[in-house]
Amino acid sequence: MTEITATRTENTRLQRIGAVLRDVMTRPSGAIGLTLVVLHLVLANVSPWIVPYDYKAMDSLQMLKPPSGAHWLGTDHLGRDVLTRTLMGGREALLVTGIATPIAVIWGGFVGIFFGLVGGRLDEVLMRVVDAFLSLPWILKMLVLIVTFGTGIEVLIPTLAFFYGIPVIRIARAATHDVVARDFVSAARARGHGRITIIRRELLPNVLDTLMVEGAMRWSWMLLAFSSLSFLGFGVSPPTPDWGLMIADGRGLMSFAPWGVLAPVVALSSLIIGINLTADALAKALGIDRAQKAPV
Amino acid sequence: MLRMLLRRLFLGAITVWIVSVIIFAGVEVLPGDACTAFLEREAKGKLLENCREAQGLNRPAVERYIEWASGAVRGDFGVSANGQKSISELVGNRLRNSLLLAICALGVGVPLAIFLGVVTGLRRDKPVDLFFSTAAVFAMTIPEFVSATVLILVFSVWLGWLPGIVLTSAGAPASEFFPEILLPVIVLAMVMTAHILRMVRSSVIEVMAGDYIQMAILKGVPYWRIVFRHALPNALLPAINVVALTIAWLLGGVVVIEVVFNYPGLGRMMIDAISDRDLPVVQAIALIVATVYVGVNLTADLMTMFLNPRLRTHALRGS
Amino acid sequence: MSALIDIRDVSVGFTGRDGRTREVLRNIDLTVAPGESVGLVGESGSGKSTLAFAAMGYLKRGLRLLGGSAAFNGNDMFARSRQELERIRGGQLALIPQNSGQSLTPTLRIGAQLGEALRLHSALPVGQHGARVIELLSQVRLPDPEGIVARFPHELSGGQQQRVAIAMALAGDPVALLLDEPTTGLDVTTQAHILELLRDIAAERSMAMVYVSHDLGAIARVCDRVVVMYAGEVVLEGPTRQVLRAPAHPYAQGLLASIPRLDDATLPVALDGRPPAPGEAGAGCAFADRCALVQDKCRATRPPLAAVESGERVRCFFADEARRDRGRRKGAAPVRYSRDSAMLTLDDLSISYARPRLIDQLLGRSSDLLPTVDDISITIGKGETLGLVGESGSGKSTILKTIAGLLPPAGGTVAVGDHPLPRLVEQRDPNQLRQIQLIFQNPDDSLNPRHTVADILEQPLKLYYGLSSTDLRARSVQVLERVRLGAHYLDRLPSQLSGGEKQRVAIARAFAADPEIVLCDEVTSALDVSVQAAVLDLLNDLKATQGTTYVFVSHDLAVVRALSDRVAVLYQGRLCEIGQTDHVFGGVSHPYTEVLLGAVLEPDPDTAPTLTADDVVERAPPAQGCPFQRRCPRKVGTICETDTPPWQRNGGDHAIRCHIAREDLA
């Protein structure tokens, strides 16, 4: 009997998740976006085994060669295979942001929901601190820490997770305010449920949709930040292949070797666009207006 | 109304104060200070002591914070760590250049975004809408350094129409930045337009589906009159806040673009200062940018409140 | 006499997610003669508003015309150009919308909006527009029209907004008015005033009216002819008196029987089942599944809309039987309690919404705001049902929230039995929490959309009884059966239920705790009348079997009458009158109760409301004296403004708070 209960109720939930996924896939933006994202994830995982060359193998005879049968996407200024480096150039970015995004959404989400429910003076103070953090440019916050502590993933992941969790607080808090005003929360309070139960049972399931869309957005912003840092020379250190770094390296030579820039440009753009298209479709499927959100 | 205004100003001031504490505390907590940065390898023993003595770094943090903050209020941010130059002077030109870039981008982006946002919102799901909405997703998601790189490749390298890099020095008069400033302006305007367009579009769609628009149709109000008199004043109100956030982002987050185009603005100065570990300069820039952010948002809030009759009544009645 | 509005064989539909076309209106014929007033009646989803909009050649986004034509004054509204439609709409044919608060443009002043209507639809020179606007506002009996012109819509009360909408419709000198639920959501007195205004204006200008409403009382007051709609079809059409007195269609009859009456102490009769969703009606009669007279023939073929001898047109094979069937159906008598011990006591309760401001706290100033609710002392017996009535803003829901502990009282106590309750839920012990359960107005808001019915019912069971998961489901099934729902509902989400089913689940959740006291906050106002009757019947049953004490809040006097043993009348958060239901609703009453009772509209064309007081909306109670002093039609003099009136009792428990002597109040 117990198990039947669990499965039946679970079924209703699974049905909803299934319906949302189907809805996402039936929208052109969702289908294209999800395909791009899945493709990137698969490539990032299998690329070390399928790339034609060693990513750090230099060849002084093959520098800045245009695309050919041997090097489909040409070579860079050190004679390294551009295809190989492009295929592997997203691994670091996906690893770092893939870990940092869930952490950011979870901590920001919980803080936001909690203060949204509790409210009062404490909440006012917290919001001023959140505002203060948001008023500082992200790149400044990140760079100061990176310059001090180094660019390893053990620095990047907590740094990104911390700073990108702050705007999530705001979103989660606003979403919580909308839910708290509804009678089912009053009903739960009137029955005598504690705060933790109310958060877990009443608020979280209703805020989760917003947080999921927010998570997708944070992921794309984080990728943007990560590759910008690499581009500026504060991210991944050579010779590890990274799109941002490859674009920075190839930029000076792009008048006669544009392939060295275009390959990572296409790769990075397609991933970020894929995430955003998916987020758009997901938001529409869940009935959330993503466009109402500001760029911060 | 006055009470509301004062309350908002007070909250804004509190936010700036918290920012200043975060900035100061942040720099305190991090290992190293202006002297270790300036002396680099020799930063040890007597030399370091003397430097700290000279800079007043041995005094308690609270005392130094008060001195720094009260200086900042007067516009005096002290001197930079390496050059021993007045930070206010260093920052002045850079701030002007960043503002120039921002104003040009806003001048192009805001009218364009509102126009396209309204058009796509009114022609929802039609080809025009699909085209610009898709373009907007591309424009806002592709990293700025990527779009900048592509634009330089096309317009500067291949076509040779526009200069791909800024060579004018920081102190040159504003007019000398043309036409070098055009490509950075285009890149910035593109991203900005995309954000505002999406916002305006969804706001227009929401308003056009409202009861009072249906009522206006059934009152026999002509279509364009509905759009301009009944719909747009309501649909554009929320755009004010997004424009404000975009301005704030322009002033702070354009670091990458300034680096790509070698543009002598605040952002590039910040990167240089961070690389050189010139902490007084970093602190000054951070505080300036944060203050502008708070100020612009405050202005937007007050404008919305003033232009929206509902909020205005609310404010007049007192919280 | 040629028809002014001539709708022929109109069908409207939308494309469902499965790609099928689903009809919202099916082959509608409707004509309205100049000066005639026709009522369109039906429950939500019957297509009545869609039909009214179709008469203007307008369909909401997603709907499309599948066939037929809608002519106004000889113009086919679906075939005309946009310019021609713009000229007719708001000119000769004007709409008065349901929710004027949202139908007036929020950023334009009232004067500008009325001026626009004049500019578009009148021949007056622009110079005279200002004067004409004032004139129009006076015609709809708005006080201080010069002041209103400069206001924004949100600065007006609901009744004032509705009057502005009427003025706007009159600006184009229309020959026909379409009214889409124009008084829904307004207080009873405001509603009655607006209806009288509409009646007078229509008569004065001999305008035709199409009046869309679910409220047969309003229809009875305004319309010559009634069209009853069901599942997108016209099922009955005829003169108002005949339709309301001897309905020839089983649905119309069921609908009438489900309306609670002030002059009838029995419970209304519920209409079981629910109408088919658009496109699901099947080949036979759409009402077949809910009809008591159904035969095989009804399920096989769709009955035509046929004229009967008495002059109506009926879509039923058994119109005569339907008419004869009337009178056989009689509502159950409500369970009455015999008073013994006190269950719930409110002692000198006062509640204040205003939170002290920080600056006042710092300066040690006390807030000068009056409490929202004040001086409430009521004792409710075990098993008794107390009805709390009053207009919006009377504080009735606020009192329930305080009893439930969601809102702390500013003063006074709430006690269950002999034990005073802690002020807030967080301070109450589990048994105190279990004893009192609350049911909310709108189940869409009170049921978590992410929880299945099983999740919803398990919460109180786990919290109060600590049931293990093995027993939970079995117990949930029992709890559901109590509200007459089957076990298969357990795994559904609220979005998969109808409005009535949702409210039953909310009721089941409250009763899962086996509470002694159930607080009902407007529990039927979001429901259609036939569903409302079923919910009232259910609450009555539960009271009989569980011996529950109810505090029943409603703005609808007839609903309160059907269920309550005693009634308390509130105005501006202060008690005016309290006593047994029969005493309050008949004989001697407080002037405010009299005003309320006078404004009630019965679904009977031979009754008329008596309007004695203005329908002004007051924002705050007066600082001293009688709360009703500013609107009272029987105000004695300055004593009403200075002294709190004394309670006058009849020896029993009927008490009225008024300066007028009890003998003179009759």
pLDDT at C37: 94
The partner residues of C376 in beta bridges, in order of sequence, read C349
Nearest by CB to B230, from C91, C97, C105: name it. Answer: C105
Distance from C-alpha of C406 to C-alpha of C35, rounded to nearest angstrom? 53
pLDDT at A289: 62
Domain membership of residue A2 (yes or no) is no
pLDDT at C9: 93
Compute the 3-state secondary structure of chain C and give helix, strand, coil in percent, each to the nearest 5.
Answer: 35, 20, 45
- Above 60 in pLDDT, residue B143? yes
Distance from CA of A279 to the nearest CA of B (A): 11
CB interface of B with C, residues 135-194, below 8 Å: none
Nearest by CB to A184, from C445, C454, C472: name it. Answer: C445
Q: Which residues of A touch C509 (CB under 8 A)?
A: 187
Domain membership of residue B164 (yes or no) is yes
CA-nearest residue to A23 within chain C is: C17
CA-nearest residue to B229 within chain C is: C108
Under DSSP, is residue C524 helix (H, G, I), strand (E, B) or coil? coil
Distance from C-alpha of C141 to C-alpha of C135, rounded to nearest angstrom? 10
Distance from C-alpha of C532 to C-alpha of B296, rounded to nearest angstrom? 53
Helices marked H in A27-134: 28-50, 82-88, 91-118, 120-134
Q: What is the mean pLDDT of residues B40-49?
A: 69
Distance from C-alpha of C371 to C-alpha of C412, rounded to nearest angstrom? 12
pLDDT band at A6 (very low <50, low <70, confident <90, very high): very low
Length reported for chain B: 319
Least confident segment among C86-95, C146-155, C275-284, C425-434: C275-284
The partner residues of C21 in beta bridges, in order of sequence, read C15
What is residue C278's DSSP assignment? T
Mutate to test the interface with B, among A29, A135, A220, A290 (most CBs of B within 10 A): A135
What average pLDDT does the structure give for chain B?
Answer: 82
CA distances (Å), origin B204, targets A276, B200, B212, C103, C593: 22, 6, 13, 17, 47
Query: Which distant-in-sequence residues (6+ apart) come within 8 Å of B76 by Cβ?
Result: B86, B88
Q: What is the mean pLDDT of residues C61-72?
A: 91
For A228, the domain range is 12-292
Q: What angle do CA A21, A24, A27 make, to 5 degrees?
A: 150
- Assess A148–B contact: CB distance below 8 Å, yes or no: yes
Beta carbons of A89 and A272 less than 8 angstroms apart: no
Preceding omega of A239 cis (within 30 degrees of 0): yes
C76's tokens = 């086919």
pLDDT at A293: 45
Q: Which residues of B touch C97 (CB under 8 A)?
A: 211, 214-215, 218
Query: How far is the first Cα of chain B from the last one, in angstroms, to the nearest whole number?
Result: 9
What average pLDDT does the structure give for chain A?
Answer: 83
Residue of C437, C442, C403 lying closest to C524 (CA atoms): C442
pLDDT at B277: 78
Q: Which residues of A touch B146 (CB under 8 A)?
A: 247, 265, 268-269
pLDDT at C237: 93
Each residue's pLDDT tens digit, C285-318 = 989 888 888 888 888 888 998 888 888 899 998 8
Least confident segment among A44-58, C79-93, C208-222: A44-58
E-only strand ranges, C338-488: 342-351, 373-381, 385-389, 411-416, 419-420, 436-439
- Assess A183–C contact: CB distance below 8 Å, yes or no: yes
Domain membership of residue A51 (yes or no) is yes
CB B220 to CB C88 under 8 A?
yes
The partner residues of C9 in beta bridges, in order of sequence, read none
Q: Which residues of A touch B140 (CB under 8 A)?
A: 276, 295
Amino acid identity of residue B9, one-letter, is L
Q: A55 or C565: which carries more pLDDT confidence?
A: C565
CB B220 to CB C121 under 8 A?
yes
Radius of gyration of chain C from Cα atoms?
A: 26
Q: Which residues of A touch B271 (CB under 8 A)?
A: 139, 143, 232
For B244, the domain range is 93-277
pLDDT at B43: 63
- Assess B14–C contact: CB distance below 8 Å, yes or no: no
pLDDT at C665: 79
pLDDT band at A294 (very low <50, low <70, confident <90, very high): very low
pLDDT band at B319 (very low <50, low <70, confident <90, very high): very low
Residue of C49, B14, B264 lying closest to A124 (CA atoms): B14
Under DSSP, is residue A279 helix (H, G, I), strand (E, B) or coil? helix
Q: What is the mean pLDDT of residues C159-171?
A: 93
Mutate to test the interface with A, among C448, C464, C467, C517 (most CBs of A within 10 A): C448
pLDDT at B3: 75
Question: Order of strands across the sheet with C37-41?
Answer: C93-96, C176-180, C208-213, C37-41, C225-230, C233-239, C313-314, C306-307
- Above 90 in pLDDT, residue B217? yes
Q: How many domains does chain B have?
A: 1
CA-nearest residue to C446 within chain A is: A184
Burial class (CB in 10 A: 0-12, 13-18, 19+), C576: buried
Beta carbons of A199 and A248 less than 8 angstroms apart: no
- Assess A16–C contact: CB distance below 8 Å, yes or no: yes
Domain membership of residue A115 (yes or no) is yes
Distance from CA of C274 to the nearest CA of A (A): 24
Beta carbons of C175 and C92 less than 8 angstroms apart: yes
CATH of the domain at B196: 1.10.3720.10
pLDDT > 70 fraction of chain C, expressed in percent and rounded: 95
Question: Order of strands across the sheet with C64-72?
Answer: C21-32, C5-15, C64-72, C75-76
Domain membership of residue B267 (yes or no) is yes
In the complex, which subunits touch B with 3 or more CB pairs below 8 angstroms? A, C
Residue of C457, C511, C454, C462 lying closest to C488 (CA atoms): C454
Distance from CA of C543 to the nearest CA of B (A): 42
Q: How many domains does chain A have?
A: 1
Burial class (CB in 10 A: 0-12, 13-18, 19+), B195: buried
Distance from C-alpha of A71 to C-alpha of A73, rounded to nearest angstrom? 5
Q: What is the mean pLDDT of residues B155-161?
A: 81
E-only strand ranges, chain A: none
Domain membership of residue B302 (yes or no) is no
CA-nearest residue to C60 within chain B is: B214
Pairing outcome for strands C517-521 and C436-439: parallel
CATH of the domain at A127: 1.10.3720.10
Beta carbons of C210 and C178 less than 8 angstroms apart: yes
Domain membership of residue B39 (yes or no) is no
Distance from C-alpha of C248 to C-alpha of C241, rounded to nearest angstrom? 12
Least confident segment among B56-60, B110-114, B161-165, C438-442: B56-60
Each residue's pLDDT tens digit, C87-122 = 999 999 999 998 888 899 999 999 999 999 999 998
Q: Which residues of C touch B310 (CB under 8 A)?
A: 106, 152, 154
- Above 60 in pLDDT, residue C278? yes
Beta carbons of B282 and B86 less than 8 angstroms apart: no
CB interface of B with C, residues 214-233, below 8 Å: 214-223, 225, 229-230, 233
Q: Which residues of B touch A129 (CB under 8 A)?
A: 18
Distance from CA of A273 to the nearest CA of B (A): 6
Question: Order of strands across the sheet with C549-554?
Answer: C436-439, C517-521, C549-554, C385-389, C566-571, C574-580, C655-657, C647-649
CB C90 to CB B308 under 8 A?
no
Query: Which distant-in-sequence residues (6+ apart) come within 8 Å of C332 by Cβ?
Result: C266, C267, C537, C540
CB B252 to CB A231 under 8 A?
no
Under DSSP, is residue B51 helix (H, G, I), strand (E, B) or coil? helix
In the complex, which subunits touch A with 3 or more CB pairs below 8 angstroms? B, C
Domain membership of residue B68 (yes or no) is no
What is the ipTM score, two decimals? Answer: 0.85
CB C106 to CB B218 under 8 A?
no
pLDDT at C18: 77
CB C107 to CB B313 under 8 A?
no
Each residue's pLDDT tens digit, C9-39 = 999 999 877 788 888 999 999 999 999 999 9
Radius of gyration of chain B from Cα atoms?
A: 24
Pairing outcome for strands C342-351 and C411-416: antiparallel
Q: B33 or A4: which carries more pLDDT confidence?
A: B33
- Above 90 in pLDDT, residue A144? no
- Above 90 in pLDDT, residue A38? yes
Beta carbons of C16 and C22 less than 8 angstroms apart: yes
What's the sign of the alpha-carbon dihedral B253, B257, B260, B263? Answer: negative
Q: A50 or C369: which carries more pLDDT confidence?
A: A50
Each residue's pLDDT tens digit, C540-593 = 999 888 889 999 999 999 999 988 999 999 999 999 999 999 889 888 889 999
pLDDT band at A87 (very low <50, low <70, confident <90, very high): confident
pLDDT > 90 fraction of chain C, expressed in percent and rounded: 46
Query: Which distant-in-sequence residues (6+ apart) come within 8 Å of A120 by Cβ?
Result: none
Distance from CA of C213 to the nearest CA of A (A): 28
Q: Which residues of B touch A170 (CB under 8 A)?
A: none
Each residue's pLDDT tens digit, C346-394 = 999 999 876 655 555 556 555 556 788 988 999 999 889 999 999 888 8
CA distances (Å), origin B217, targets C172, C356, C522: 14, 46, 35
pLDDT at A2: 34
Domain membership of residue B307 (yes or no) is no
State the CB neighbour count (10 A cutoff) for residue A175.
Answer: 23
pLDDT band at A296 (very low <50, low <70, confident <90, very high): very low
Distance from CA of C493 to the nearest CA of A (A): 8
Domain membership of residue B6 (yes or no) is no
Q: B85 or A247: which carries more pLDDT confidence?
A: A247
- Above 90 in pLDDT, residue B170? no
pLDDT at C105: 93
Q: pTM for this one?
A: 0.86
pLDDT at A1: 33
Distance from C-alpha of C113 to C-alpha of C91, rounded to nearest angstrom? 15
pLDDT > 90 fraction of chain A, expressed in percent and rounded: 22
Distance from C-alpha of C2 to C-alpha of C31, rounded to nearest angstrom? 9
The partner residues of C212 in beta bridges, in order of sequence, read C40, C180
Least confident segment among A31-40, C269-278, C563-572: C269-278
Burial class (CB in 10 A: 0-12, 13-18, 19+), A123: middle
CB C107 to CB B308 under 8 A?
yes
Each residue's pLDDT tens digit, A152-210 = 888 889 999 999 999 899 889 989 988 998 999 999 999 999 888 999 999 998 898 88
Mutate to test the interface with B, among C58, C86, C99, C107 (most CBs of B within 10 A): C107
pLDDT at B49: 75
pLDDT at C631: 87
pLDDT at C365: 56
Those residues of chain C whose CB sits closer than 8 Å to some CB in chain B are 53, 56, 58, 60-61, 82, 85-91, 94-95, 97, 99, 102-108, 116-117, 120-121, 152, 154-155, 168, 172, 357
Q: What is the mean pLDDT of residues C466-486?
A: 88
- Assess B240–C contact: CB distance below 8 Å, yes or no: no
